Amino acid sequence: MTNQDPDIRETHDLIASDMVVGTNVYDIQGNHIGQVERLILEKRGGRVSYAVLSFGGFLGIGDDYYPLPWQKLDYDESLAGFRIDITKEQVEGAPRYARDQDFDWNAESGRRVYDYYGVRPYWV
Binding site for a second copy (CB under 8 A): 6-8, 11-18, 20-21, 38-49, 70-71, 75, 97, 99-103, 105-106
* Residue nearer to a second copy on the CB measure, 46 or 93: 46
Q: How far is the CB of 102 from a second copy (least distance, A)?
A: 4
Q: How far is CA 36 from the centre of its chain?
A: 5
66 Cβ neighbours under 8 A, 6+ residues apart: 52, 53, 54, 55, 91, 94, 95, 96
Q: From CA 24, how far away is CA 18, in angstroms rounded?
A: 12
* Residue nearer to a second copy on the CB measure, 75 or 116: 75
Q: How far is the CB of 25 from a second copy (least distance, A)?
A: 15
